Structures are given as C-alpha cells and as structure tokens.
A = this chain, B = another copy of it.
Amino acid sequence: MVKAVLSAVLVLAVISSTIAKYIPKTGKRIPQTLSRGWGDQLIWAQTYEEALYWSRSRNKPLMVIFHLEDCPHSQALKKVFSENNEIQKTLDEDFVVLNLMYETTDKHLSPDGQYVPRILFVDPSMTVRADINGRYSNRMYAYETGDISLLITNMQTAKKLLKSEL
C-alpha cells in the first residue's frame, strides 16, 4: 500500500515537472545567448540605448558590431575575433560591447551605409567615432579576418576618450 502511494506520488511529480517545462513541438532548443558567439565571457549590452547608458555611466568607449548569421564574412570575422585573447581581454576590461543583427534607427551608426560586418566605436560623450575606420574606402567600417591587428590599434585609439583630448 505504502509502495503504491509512493509510486503515485512519483508519477504525479514526474507529470507536474513535465507540465512545468514547456517544450516546443520541434524539440528542445538551446537558449540563445546575447554574445551570439562574439565572446561568451563578455558582458553584452542588449540594446543601443542600454549600451549608451553603460558607456556614459562607466566612462568607457562602446564597440558596436553589426553582423548577420548567414553572412560568411561576419562568421569568419567572428571566429578570429572571439578566439583573440587580446581583443577579448581589452573589451572585457575597457569597453562596453554590443552586437546587433538589426539596424538601429540612429543614422550615426551607418556613416557610409548599412552593411555587415561593420564595427563602430562610440565615445562615452555619445559621439560616434566616424574617424576610427578600417582599410576599405568603400566600406570604411568593415573588417576582414586579416585586419585584426588594425582593429586592435583602433581599439587603442577609441580608449583615448574624446574629452581627455580637449
């Protein structure tokens, strides 16, 4: 009798735990991360508004990465970017980071158009650093996998805050 009651309790427990967790028809999904593979150990802002707030309040420059999951150039850059220890450490300690797959309504973030991958720096004074760019004159904020050292140099430039230059 006790055994039967225990079994019933167990069955109920299993049912309720099944009810508690919704599983989509297509099967269980891996929760999406905010990093989207650009650096799982970094603390990513979710939106541009949030990133600007963090940048101002912490007095740290902001890096904004525009990318797409189905763009091979974005994927290739993401791989070297996420595996580069110097980039990851510098971003973690000295920057606010945001990666976006959709454009914002702020035109300052697309000085020469909307394309991916594209990396913009924003000063804590909320000025988009259009002066910090890559090596391509037709897509000034694009970086390729071979441009990592230029990107690191540009990060150093972004760290010299505008107001300290006045």
CA distance A33 to B103 in the complex (A): 20
CA distance A148 to B58 in the complex (A): 38
CA distance A48 to B100 in the complex (A): 12
- Interface pick from A81-89, A122-130, A134-142: A81-89
Chain A residues numbered 18-36 whose CB sits less than 8 Å from any CB in chain B? 19-24, 28-29, 31-35
Chain A residues within 8 Å of chain B by Cβ, number: 35
Known: A32-B44, A33-B34, A35-B31. A85 touches B49 (CB 8 A): no
Chain A residues numbered 79-129 whose CB sits less than 8 Å from any CB in chain B? 83, 85, 88-89, 92, 100-105
Known: A31-B40, A33-B32, A41-B29. A104 touches B47 (CB 8 A): yes
Interface residue ranges, A against B (CB under 8 Å): 19-24, 28-29, 31-35, 39-41, 43-44, 46-50, 53, 83, 85, 88-89, 92, 100-105
